[in-house]
Structure 1
Amino acid sequence: MDRLHLMTVFVAVAEEESFNGGARRLAMSPPAVTRCVAALEARLGVKLLDRTTRYVRVTEAGQRYLDDARRIIAEVDEADEAVVGINGTPKGQLTVTAPVLFGKLFVTPVLVEYLQRYPQMDVNALFLDRVVNLMEEGVDVGVRIGELPDSSMKALRVGEVRRVLVGATGYLAEHGVPGEPGDLAGHRIVAATGVTPSVEWKFAQGRSVRLRPRLTVTSNEAAIEAVRAGFGVTRLMSYQVASLVAAGELQVLMEDFEVPPLPIHVLHREGRHKSARVRTLVDLMVERLRGAVNSRI
C-alpha cells in the first residue's frame, strides 16, 4: 500500500481516537481502515496504537510517529498547492486558534472577511484561553499573546497588550482608589484564573502582593461582569476592558506599576512552501490585526 495513504489513515484514527471515527473522516470502511493501520504497524515493526473495546490511544512510539506523519502530510499538501501555483485561488479548510475574547473581538471579523473573499474556503475556529500546540492539535494558524518559546513556528508580531488593574467607578467612589500594590489588601479582589492563575500579582518596580480573592472565576467575561457590578477590582488584558474603560464604566488603576506589555503574534507552521490557504489568511490577519490592535488597545 502507498505509505502516504497509510500515514493519512493512521493520523485520522489517532486524532479521532477511533477506527470508526477515522473511517468516517476518510469516507472509508472500518475494515479497510483497520487493514491500513495493521499494514503500517507491520511495515514499521512497531505497535502504534493501543486498542480496547472502549478506546484507541497512541503508544509512546505512536505519538512520535504521529507528530512526524502530520508534518510530512502537511509538507506534501503544501508542495501540491505550490506546484499548482502560489497565486491559485485558496480552497479547502483551515483551523485557526486564538484566546476567547480576542478571537471574538478581533479574529472573527477577519475570518468573516476571509471567507467572503474566498468562497471555496472553510474555517474551523478554536477560541480557547489556553496555549494550543499547533502541530499536535492540527492547527494551521494561531494568535498568541505573550512571549514565545523557541519553536519551528513562523511568528509575525502584530501589536502588544497591557495587563491592567480595573475597578468600577461606583466601587472606587465608595472604597477608594488604590495608589500602590500594598493598598489592594483593603479591596475585594476578583481573580480570573485564565489571566492570573495565582493569588500573587506581580507589578513593576519589583513589587508583588499576595492576595486572597473573594471571587475566583475561570472566565474572563465573568470577572468583567463581577467588576462591572461593583464587586471589587480585577486584573485583565487591556483589550478585554477597552470599551468599558472608554465608556467610563471601568477605571484603570495604578498605571505606574504596570508590568511591560505582552506581544501579540500570528503564528503558522513553517515549511519550505507556504500554501495559498495559509498565506492568504496570514497576510490578511496580520494586516487587519495590526490596524485594529494598535488603534483600539
Structure 2
Amino acid sequence: MDRLHLMTVFAAVGEEQSFAGGARRLGMSPPAVTRAIAALEARLGVRLLERTTRHVRVTEAGQRYLDDARRIIAEIDEADEAAAGSNAAPRGHLAVTAPVLFGRIYVTPGIVDYLRRYPHMEVNAMFVDRVTNLMEEGLDVGVRIGELPDSSLRAVPVGRVRRVICASPAYLERHGAPRTPRDLAAHTIVSSTGSSAPPDWRFTRDGRAQALRLKPRLTVNSNDAAIEALRDGFGVARLLSYQAAPLLASGELREVLEDYATPGVPVNIVHRDSRQGSPRIRSFVDLMVERLRAEPNLQTGPYGL
C-alpha cells in the first residue's frame, strides 16, 4: 500500500481513537482501515496502537509517529494547495482550537460563515480551556488570550480583554459590595479551573500592583459553571470582560472594585507558519481577524470596557 495512504489512515484512527471513527472520517470500510494499520505496523516493525474491546490507544512509539505524520500530511496538503495556485478556492480539512466559552460565542459563528463561503472545506473545532500545542495536536489555527511566549507560530492581534470581578445584585444586596481587594476575604469566592488566569487575584491602583491568594468556597472546571453560580446569587468571581459583558449589560451581574482593575490582556489568532501560504489557513485567519476586530467586547481599553 502507498506509504502516505497508510500514514493518513493511522493519523485518522489515532486522532479518533477508534477504527470505526477513522473509517467514517476517511469514507473507508472498517476492515480496510484495519488492514491498513496492520500493514503499516508490519512495515515499521513496531506496534502503533493498543487495542482493547472498548478503546484504541496510541502507544509511545505510535505517539511519536502520529506527531510526525500530522506534520508531514500538513506539509503535503500545503504543497498541493500552493501548486494549485494562490487564487484557488480552499478545500480540505482545517483544525481549529479556542477556549470553550470564547469558541462558543465568537469562533463557532465564524466557522459557520467560513463553511458557507467555502463548500469544499471541513472544520474540526476543539474548544478547551487549556493551552494547546498546535503542532503536536494536529491543529492549524488557535485563539490565545494572554501574553504569548516566544514560538515559531505566527500571531495576529485581534483585540484586548481584561479581568473583571463580578457578583449578582442579589448577592451584593445581602452581603454588601467590597470596597477594597482585602474585603474579598469576607466574601464567598467562586473560582474556575477552566481559566488561564494566575491563581492570585491581581489588582492595580495609583500605579501600585497588589496580589491576593483567596480561598474559594466553590471551585468549578468551567467558566460557564462559574457564571451560573453568580447568576444564582452565590458569591463573587473573576471573569474575562467578554464573558461578563452581556450579563453586565443586562443587569444580571454587577462589576465591583472597578478602581482596582488591572491592564487588559491581548487576544491573538495564532497559526502555523507556512512558506507556501496555505489558502485554507490564510482564508480562515483573514475571516476571523475581520470578525473579531469588529467585536466591541474584544476591544477593551487598558482599564475600561
Q: Distance in 2 between matches of 1:267 and 1:232?
A: 35
* Partner AA of 1:109 in structure 2: P
Give the 5 Å matches for 1:129-144. 129-144=129-144
- Counterpart residue number, 1:261: 264
Whole-Å separation in 2 of the counterparts to 1:283 and 1:244: 30
Matches within 5 A, 1:225-264: 225-264=228-267
Taking a change above 3 Å as real, the CA distance of residues 49 and 243 of structure 1, as seen in their structure-2 partners, is closer
Match of 1:9 in 2: 9
Residues 49-198 of structure 1: pairs in structure 2 closer than 5 A: 49-195=49-195
- Structure 2 CA distance, aligned partners of 1:158 and 1:54? 43
Q: CA offsets, 1:100-152, max 9 Å, x none?
A: 22222222332232233223333333333233333333332221212233333
Question: Could you tell me which residue of structure 1 aligns to residue 210 of structure 2?
Answer: 207
Task: Decide whether the 8 Å contact of 2:160 with 2:300 is kept in 1.
Answer: no
Task: For residue 282 of structure 1, report the CA deviation from its aligned partner.
Answer: 0.5
Contact preservation (8 Å) 1:75, 1:273: no
What is the alpha-carbon root mean square deviation over aligned residues? Answer: 2.7
Deviation at 1:153, TM superposition (A): 2.4
Unaligned runs of 5+ residues in structure 1 are: none
Tell me: CA distance 1:38–1:229, structure 2 relative to 1, closer, same or farther (3 Å): closer
Of all paired residues, the percent bearing the same amino acid is 65
Deviation at 1:30, TM superposition (A): 4.3
Structure 1 residues 193 and 295, CA gap change in structure 2 (3 angstroms): closer
State the alpha-carbon separation in 2 of the partners of residues 207 and 13 from structure 1: 49
Determine helix, strand or coil for the equivalent of 1:50. strand
- Tell me the distance in 1 between the aligned counterparts of 2:282 and 2:196: 34
Deviation at 1:208, TM superposition (A): 2.5
1:103–1:77: structure 2 CA closer, same or farther, 3 Å change rule? same
Q: Shift of the alpha carbon at 1:196? A: 7.1
Aligned with residue 222 of structure 1, among 221, 225, 238: 225
Matches of 1:269 and 1:161 in 2, distance apart?
24
Number of corresponding residues: 297
Structure 2 contact 9–22 (Cα < 8 Å) conserved: yes
One-letter amino acid of the structure 2 residue matched with residue 118 of structure 1: Y
Query: Counterparts of 2:185 and 2:260 in 1: how far apart (Å)?
Result: 16
The 3-state SS of whatever aligns with 1:149 is coil
Amino acid at match of 1:261: G
Measure the CA separation in 2 of the matches of 1:210 and 1:30.
Answer: 53
8 Å Cα contact 2:99/2:127 also seen in 1: yes
Structure 2: unaligned runs, 5 residues or longer: none
Moved more, 43-52 or 99-108: 43-52
Aligned match of 1:280 in 267, 279, 283? 283
Normalised to the residue count of structure 1, the TM-score between the two structures is 0.87
Rounded Cα–Cα distance in structure 2 between residues aligned with 1:28 and 1:209: 56
Give the superposition deviation at 1:181.
1.7
Residue 87 of structure 1: how far off its partner (Å): 1.0
Change in Cα spacing, 1:54 to 1:245, as seen in structure 2 (3 Å) is closer
Q: SS state of the match for residue 299, structure 2?
A: helix
